[in-house]
Amino acid sequence: MIKSVELFNAGMVAYFVAFLFYTIYAFSKSSWASKLATGFAWLGVIAQGAGFVVRGIEKAKVNMVSDWTAFYKYAPFTNMYESLMLFGWTAVLIYLLFEWKYKNKAFGMFVIPLALIGELSTQILGFNPEAQPLVPALQSNWLLFHVVTTFIGYAAAAVSAGVAYAYFIKREDTTLKDWAVVFLTTWFIFFFIIYSAYRENAPLYLLISAGAAALFCLALYGLKKVGISRFFPSIETMEQIMYQSVAVGFVFLTIGIILGAVWAKYAWGGYWSWDPKETWSLITWLVYAAYLHARYIKGLRGKPLAYFTIVGFLSVIFTYYGVNLIIPGLHSYAQ
């Protein structure tokens, strides 16, 4: 039988081809490139969707499950490899739904590589792709619902941050200070992701991630210079999308945190234990709550809105990567 890892890899290849066609489309506006781009993106989503099903069967095997009604308990989202696959898959899927609704394909060339980097990082960072049996703490009815809602929240946050970065390309008055902020935040993000995998030699990885962030900023700057922003929606629409994805993310994060509390009640003996992961999810929630209030009273918009959006995403990244791998706690098994 075909292995889940092969399907995930096939999906990544499809995403890469889709990314090429999205880029060709962005510059040539040719309709065949546009159709091929969307087609390959969907192909990748379908391949990886099938990958999750196969993965579920593999996990049921290693967990020695015979009861098929309990199948959902062994949802394939329980280690770093699986959860990054889920992250990439959800991000592309959400993007494709946005594309279908708004009939705008300009963001494909940003979102697809973001998902692809997430998924490829499993190989660069050396996460074990084998299907592993579940430790007793993860054998729960709540696993599937908690992880899926949380991940929709994370993916929505990623979309909002992606748009926030694109926003600085779109604006005419992006200053050196704005670029510095873009650089610093991406530096942080890259550093967390890389360092969380090795947990040693911080100065070296600070240097490597600084280089990667610089390249990223240079790429953004290049895109701005070649006039990519022509194909973006208006500034107002971009602000609207940022805010709406944060709102969607906030709702799903809230539900995810609450489902996590319900699970904790049955697994750990209390709905809240101030475990670092719990605390960081609360911090993210508080940051986004402040964001929504600031938008409500001060009409937070423009560059400050984009800054705030990126800060929210930083908090998400730390909740997702940093806490799992850097700070020990009840969630560390997710490694």
Applying CB under 8 A, which residues contact other proteins? 62-64, 133, 135-137, 139-141, 247-248, 250-251, 254-255, 258, 261-263, 265-272, 274, 276, 279-280, 282-283, 286-287, 289-290, 293-294, 296-297, 315, 323, 327
CB of 251 to other proteins, least distance (A): 5
Provide the phi-psi class of 135: left if phi over 0, else alpha when psi is between -120 and 50, else beta.
Answer: beta
Q: Specify the residue, 46 or 262, whose C-beta has the smaller distance to other proteins.
A: 262
Q: Which is nearer to other proteins, 109 or 310 (CB)?
A: 310
Dig out the tokens for 314 from the structure. Answer: 């930083």
For other proteins, the closer of residues 135 and 176 by Cβ is 135
Nearest approach, Cβ of 15 to other proteins (angstroms)?
A: 30
Q: Least Å distance between CB 150 and other proteins? A: 14
The CA-based dihedral angle spanning residues 193, 198, 203, 208, taken in that order and rounded to the nearest 10 degrees: -50
Q: Name which of 139 and 174 has its Cβ closer to other proteins.
A: 139
Quote the distance between the C-alpha of residue 137 and its chain's center: 25
Q: How far is CA 138 from the centre of its chain?
A: 22
DSSP state of 134: P
Residue number, 182 or 241, with CB nearest to other proteins: 241
In angstroms, what is the minimal distance from the CB of 293 to other proteins?
5
Half-sphere exposure of 280 (CA within 13 A, CB side): 21
The DSSP code for 126 is T
CA distance 88 to 258: 24
CB nearer to other proteins: give 206 or 283. 283
How many Cα neighbours within 13 Å face the side chain of 94? 24
If the CB atoms of residues 127 and 333 are measured against other proteins, the closer one turns out to be: 333
Q: Residue 10 and residue 4: Cα distance in Å, rounded? A: 10
CB of 244 to other proteins, least distance (A): 9
C-alpha distance from residue 175 to each of 178, 185, 203, 305 (Å)? 5, 16, 29, 16
We find the least distance from the C-beta atom of residue 254 to other proteins, in angstroms, to be 6
Question: In the bound complex, what is the minimum distance in angstroms from residue 118's beta carbon to other proteins?
Answer: 24
